[in-house]
Structure 1
């Protein structure tokens, strides 16, 4: 990183592309055992999953939006509401913990049942495209079902994240992530767990820790193969390429938290957003 700062030309300084390439190379060297997935490959995989209705939705025939927050986030929000009583607002809790307002209202008012969606019906063209996507990834060893783990703190996650990503603490308890993996582990189809952060360091830590935790599980405890990946270039590269992101209210956004003034140089300047 330091070398890139002193040697980049004026033209390179206008775009983080060159420094991002060096950063990705550095992450691969630092975490050689962590498998990488490129942003374009993940994007195609997510579109294929969306077309199919996702993992559990595909099995049940009903489409259901996945949570974009962790269980610890929900527990913390409910605890804050209980302690603060009328001193906190649902909007404030939603903004702080990255939980949709409607979901918080339901939990606070005792309405936590699942909402059934209509069956997902694909057109002939969509089905053909889905089959092509599935074959593309099968030929390259990638599964169709993916679980996204955002390895950043709430303040970064609330600005933007990849849709349906579950937030985890990279240096904290990974139980929520492991619980989610167990929830998804309900069919014989392979599961890909893709971790990301700002540029890839924190998510590589998460990917490595998850690999170690999964090795501790009994061999008969998994119903399907589980592969752990780090998103190469992570959210900064994803945002620079104009790919889909949403904020804590599930609204589409192009902005991202720059993490710091130094690492923020890897994110296009017009995409910087420090707070909501």
Structure 2
């Protein structure tokens, strides 16, 4: 009987769960930089949110954002971040902040929380993990692209999919 099950799972792979497990070494690096006071949201939780009721903020710089970003994301940058760039976001709405891996995003998320935003989350693993899990990214023209800004040589090793741009 066990051989029947093995053959069945081989012939019908769609019955197998294929949820990606984050690279343990990447996870270890993220845990070193993440501040436990800033809530994170994993990609599966993020995908379950009602997209009509949330705001997605990209905390990368404009040149990174211009290469690719999550659909419907608003670039707010990091170095020149200004709270006036989010004046239109009600403080009771859900806000997801991301960057390459989450370090810059958590800092921007912290500023939002200090300013009174109630539902702010750092996307766990950032755009790197988003792409690693096989989710699409887009150009400013709305076209899907394989290109991802790889941030720098130290962090680019954690980008497993896509076409790296530095």
The question of 1:151 aligning with 2:59 is answered yes
Residue ranges of structure 1 left out of the alignment (5+ in a row): 1-15, 55-144, 216-225
TM-score under structure 1 normalisation? 0.49
Q: Is contact 2:148–2:162 with CA below 8 Å preserved after alignment?
A: no
For the residue of structure 1 that corresponds to 2:55, the secondary structure is: strand
Q: Distance in 2 between matches of 1:267 and 1:180?
A: 33
For the residue of structure 1 that corresponds to 2:122, the secondary structure is: strand
Q: Is contact 1:20–1:237 with CA below 8 Å preserved after alignment?
A: no
Match of 1:207? Answer: 109
Q: Is contact 1:242–1:254 with CA below 8 Å preserved after alignment?
A: no
Match of 1:57? Answer: none
Match of 1:230? Answer: 122
The question of 1:18 aligning with 2:18 is answered no
The question of 1:168 aligning with 2:60 is answered no
Q: Is contact 1:34–1:204 with CA below 8 Å preserved after alignment?
A: yes
TM-score under structure 2 normalisation? 0.79
Instruction: Give the alignment of 1:181-200 within 5 angstroms.
Output: 181-182=89-90, 191-200=93-102
Higher strand share: 2
Q: Is contact 1:34–1:230 with CA below 8 Å preserved after alignment?
A: yes
Q: Is contact 1:195–1:229 with CA below 8 Å preserved after alignment?
A: yes
Q: Distance in 2 between matches of 1:146 and 1:159?
A: 23
Residue ranges of structure 2 left out of the alignment (5+ in a row): 1-21
Instruction: Give the alignment of 1:1-276 within 5 angstroms.
Output: 17-28=23-34, 31-45=35-49, 48-49=50-51, 54=52, 145-172=53-80, 173-177=82-86, 179-182=87-90, 191-214=93-116, 226-268=118-160, 270-274=162-166
Q: Give me the CA root mean square deviation.
A: 1.9
Structure 1 stretches of at least 4 aligned residues deviating more than 4 Å after TM superposition: none
Shift of 1:271: 2.8
Q: Distance in 1 between matches of 2:150 and 2:157?
A: 8
Q: Distance in 2 between matches of 1:146 and 1:157?
A: 19
Q: Is contact 1:207–1:229 with CA below 8 Å preserved after alignment?
A: yes
Q: Distance in 2 between matches of 1:269 and 1:252?
A: 14
- Which structure has the bigger radius of gyration? 1
Structure 1 residues 195 and 270: CA distance shift in structure 2, 3 A: closer
